[in-house]
Structure 1
Amino acid sequence: MNASKLRRRLTAALVAGLFPVALNVSAQEAPVAQEKGPAAADAMLHALQVQYLHPYRAMDTASVKSVLDRVFTYLDRVTPAELINKTTGAAVTDLSRADPDTVLKPGDFRLTSYEWGVTYAGMLAAGAATGDARYTNYTVKRHQLLADLTRLYAPAVKADPANAQAPIKSFLNPHALDDAGALCMSFMKAKNMGSKVDYGQLIDICGSFVTEKEYRLKDGTLARGGPDGKGGIKMRPLPNTLWLDDMFMGVPTIALMGKYTGKAKHYDDAVKQVLQFSKRMFNPALGIYMHGYVEGASSHPEMHWARANGWAIMAMVEVLDVLPKTHKGYKAVAAQLRAHADGLASFQHKDGLWHQLIDRNDSYLETSASAIYTYAIARAVNRGHLDKDMFGPMANLAWNAVSGKVNAKGEVEGICVGTGMAFDPAFYYYRPTSVRAAHGYGPVLLAGAEIIEMNKKFKFGINDSGLMYQGER
């Protein structure tokens, strides 16, 4: 061994002895020193291993799937696809008649909430990414139950919406986008992926509500408000209020209805919604959205709530997945997606997550929003909307942090509970978190599935101590 190489090895050994390390993070070897003589004491400091909070690497498929499997096992156990008699608790298996005393067997989460519409989509994505049919079957089994219940109970609910009883009445008689939009998205995604469930009646109910019946402003933008049926105006929380959440609760379904019906008007409407929400609620200087907007108000205090921003970027990714590339609005939606992703990148916390109020670092780090960003950014990378070399490492960092919030039981920790909207910071700062908040489970499944796809397609590794894109696989 020549003297120069021996000197470098001795220096590295000395540094390693002086600075103990914890994680196995390698660094690119520095160029051979051109100077002659003994090495300076700082010669190898750049190669010190770093004590990151989460693994600083791109997880392989097996590592990601082990996280998803914990989530699946928990959810499969605590969300039974079963019916019982509401008085006796006895199992109900006879679906030949619509019994008003039949209800869904209670579990930890509801099977017909908007959060579970996202979870159904997440299970489908996880099944596709891992090849594990358990995930796909989870969604198909519950969709089949919902289709059976719709066949039985829809006629009575339609005939007497106020008084009819049904196990899934909020879906059969929707009053808001939350009742119909995300579920409808999951139905059409499953149908497009080859599910044999008969979705016709399901999609007719939820698709028509989203595209034709939900309240809108005069320019057609989806909004909360309108007549309350008693001679007054709905206050949600004020008349003619836009919730950023509704970009997701309605817009992906509108776009999917374009594919389902073959009618271009739905594609046009989906693009219009993205651009009109963005015109009112996107802050181009920060690259993020405000949560709430009241049409006609003279000013709009901006609260940049994380999960609502997640719904927005997820909506744009989903729209671009089905919007024809030849559509006149395609480039505008893609540009808005990139502007939002740029903004979110600037606010990512050093350990991978995002804050409850994105631009307020003293608000807590929140899991569901971080999982949604992980999914949307990784999917945008996979679809070519975002640069893989710039955003791939960011998505991997985010996933590693999100996966650390899945406990041994498969519960997801750090999820903000259901949240309305407000114009003061205290409301958002003090929202509780809970493993029973349903909002985080679907996003974790989606995020893990998309990270698997991204890391199968592209290689990310350590180069000169940083996680970098290293080419296509």
Structure 2
Amino acid sequence: MQQSNQEVTVTNTAELLEKVFQRLVSANKDNANDHMDFDVWEWPLGVALYGLFKYTRFTGKQEYTDFLIDWYDRHLAEGLPPKNVNSVAPLLALIHLYEQTKNEAYLNVCSEWAEWVMYDMPRTEEGGLQHITIIEDNVEQLWDDTLFMTVLFLAKMGKVTGKQEYVDEAVYQFLLHIKYLHDPETGLWFHGWSFIGRHHFGRTLWARGNCWFTAGVVEFLEIAELEGPVKRYLLEALEAQARTLAKLQESDGMWHTILTDPSSYTETSATAGFGYGILKAVRQGYLDASYAATAEKAVQAVIANIDEDGTVLQVSYGTAIGMNDEHYLNIPICPTAYGQALAIMLLTETLASK
């Protein structure tokens, strides 16, 4: 494990990034239930591939781009899984990769899936994207995860193809999810909302669910190139969340898996997601510069939880919605692709912000 007081320099951050990257791409490929498996077309890899794409674009190394091209070409040749919220996630990096390669096969796949999201994906009351997964239909449920896993892709497709209706739908989904998942009392986010029960399940303020908005909204603003009242509204939601996050951050820079429960374990993937979103928001002028200190503490905390071989430690396993806090407290901790990816995104943004 790295030293928590290690000075963050350009050199050692770049070296650490490479370790985290190599640990991710060398993960075992023999267990479909392993969230570190780099061979399963699902949401953990969707987040990972996007993190790798951002790292690849930052470094400019052709061999990393070739790695992504080889990965996608192989999986497209094998055939893709059924369409759902989580299986859309790997397409976010793919449509970005299309912009670089102009490979029409990539665009064709992305177009087919974007049309499904736009017109055939199950909807909740008020037209929300229902969080349908390979395991559960989750009828009439909104989850905060959906924004990162599906809505970012739809927005990017709208910009790439010139289909403004995609961008407009993505905007609507962000606004609707804020309406039902944002807690006006704290500025934090509930994991989900049921239109059937008219409730927020256990009302748990779960860290990684919150970070999907923190990291996702800064990406969305960049992708959709929003201005005017919608941009203002999204930034107010981010500011409200960041204000409370700054108060809840531990002295070592970490956040607890249940944000408002200091007895719950601290969790690295959420800490990386918060750090990334806040750091980028400061760089873009979305948040006041005073929040940089919160982000820098998160950077140090994540570095302190990276093992010598590049494994990001203290990451919770994939988490469905629970009806009580105990559900979240019992989620096991293990290395995951999204833990690696969120750390990669944070460390890459650290270099970009210097």
Q: TM-score, length-normalised on structure 2?
A: 0.89
Establish whether residue 447 from structure 1 lines up as the match of residue 346 from structure 2.
yes
What letter matches 1:119 in structure 2?
A
Once the two structures are TM-superposed, the CA of residue 196 in structure 1 deviates from its matched residue by: 4.6
Q: Contact 1:380–1:386 at 8 Å: present in 2 too?
A: yes
Q: Deviations over 1:395-430 (max 9, x none)?
A: 111011112211112211111011111121110111
Residues 172-224 of structure 1: per-residue CA shift (max 9 Å, x gap): x32x21011x21111122223x1354412320233223222221123111123
Could you tell me which amino acid in structure 2 is paired with residue 269 of structure 1?
Answer: E
Aligned to 2:19: 70
**2:187 matched residue in structure 1:** 287
> Which position in structure 1 is the counterpart of 2:314?
414
- d(CA) in 1 for partners of 2:269 and 2:56? 20
- The one-letter code matched in structure 1 to 2:351 is I
- 2:244 alignment counterpart: 343
**Aligned: 1:254 with 2:154:** yes
Unpaired runs of 5+ in structure 1? 1-52, 85-102, 151-167, 229-233, 456-473
Contact 2:254 2:301 in 1 (8 A): yes
Q: CA deviation at 1:235?
A: 5.8
* Contact 1:76/1:138 (<8 A) preserved: no
Partner in structure 1 of residue 49 of structure 2: 120
For 1:5, the equivalent position in structure 2 comes to none
Counterpart-to-counterpart distance in 1, 2:232 and 2:348: 26
CA distance, structure 1, for counterparts of residue 132 and residue 93 of structure 2:
26
Is the 8 Å Cα contact of residues 130 and 449 (structure 1) preserved in structure 2? Answer: no
TM-score (norm 1): 0.68
Query: How far apart are residue 56 of structure 1 and its match?
Result: 7.0
Tell me how far apart the structure 1 counterparts of residues 222 and 123 of structure 2 sit (CA, whole Å).
Answer: 25
Aligned residue runs from structure 1 range 366-445, under 5 A: 366-387=267-288, 389-435=289-335, 437-445=336-344
Deviation at 1:148, TM superposition (A): 3.7
Structure 2 gaps of 5+ residues are none
Alignment of 1:318-329 (within 5 A): 318-326=219-227, 329=230
Q: Tell me the equivalent position of 2:124.
A: 217
Deviation at 1:256, TM superposition (A): 0.9
What does 1:58-97 correspond to in 2, within 5 Å?
59-78=8-27
Alpha-carbon distance in structure 1 between the residues aligned to 2:263 and 2:26: 36
Cα RMSD after superposing both structures: 2.5
Contact 1:354 1:370 in 2 (8 A): yes
Aligned residue identity for 1:355: H
Shift of residue 299, structure 1, vs aligned partner: 4.3
Give the AA of the match of 2:325: P
AA aligned opposite 2:85: L
Match status 1:195 vs 2:101? yes
| Contact residue 184 and residue 203 of structure 1 kept, 8 A | yes
Within-5 A mapping of 1:18-97: 54-55=4-5, 59-78=8-27
Who is 1:268 aligned against? 168
Correspondent of 1:145 among 74, 77, 84 = 74
- Label 1:361 to 1:386 Cα distance change in 2 as closer, same or farther (>3 A): same
d(CA) in 2 for partners of 1:134, 1:76: 13
Distance apart, 1:284 and its partner CA: 2.0
1-structure distance, mates of 2:206, 2:96: 28
Alpha-carbon shift at residue 328 of structure 1 (Å): 5.2
Greater share of helix? 2
The residue type equivalent to 2:337 in the other structure is A
- Distance between the aligned counterparts of 2:326 and 2:227, measured in 1? 45
Q: Residue 329 of structure 1 aligns to a residue in which SS?
A: helix
- 1:463 counterpart residue number: none
Among all aligned residue pairs of Structure 1 and Structure 2, give the percentage whose two residues are the same amino acid: 26
Secondary structure, counterpart of 2:98 in structure 1:
helix
Runs of 4 or more off by more than 6 Å in structure 1?
Answer: none
Contact kept in structure 2, 1:292 and 1:303, CA below 8 Å? no
The 5 Å alignment of 1:346-365 reads: 346-365=247-266
